[in-house]
Amino acid sequence: MSAKTQTHKQDPMIGEEAPDFTLDGTNGPVHLAELLGHVVVLYFYPRDNTPGCTTEACDFRDMIHDFSEVEAIILGVSMDSLPSHAKFTAKYQLPFNLLSDSEGRVANRYGVYKQKNLYGKVSFGIERSTFIIDRKGVIRYVFRKVRVAGHVSQVKDLVSELVHG
């Protein structure tokens, strides 16, 4: 595992029950507690149709078969609206649910709603992060400040390892 894509092994959320939520998505509403029995890959991303977010979403799309084989569910979360998500999903043929966290409440509960500084402009938004949640609803892996290159492949490997022991 390279340093750029390494999980945060000391992250305080690892081993904790994943914070429950209900959010509207492109494939209907999602209540996390109803997904018990499945491994869930919950990835937070800053914005639809931006270069890094598009690459990440397309990487998940391109590996969806690997995740489906082990009955893992992919959920993407950003603060974008459902209409924005619908356009993004249609444009890139994304086969998983994108959830709208318009007020950042879920992002805040997962500790990914952060202050950002881009070219001297301070704002708040989602820091690209991924959580792998086991079948019992416990967070097993956390990636914060994700670098997109190679990330989804690493997530796929960890999900497979989690499912197959």
Query: Measured between alpha carbons, how far is 140 from 54 in angstroms, rounded to an integer?
Result: 25
User: Is 58 a residue of the active site?
Assistant: no
The CB-based long-range contact list for 22-25 (8 Å cut-off, 24+ gap) reads 23/77, 23/99, 23/100, 23/101, 23/106, 24/82, 24/99, 24/100, 25/75, 25/82, 25/85, 25/97, 25/98, 25/99, 25/100
Active-site residue identified among 41, 53, 79, 152: 53
The set of catalytic residues is 53
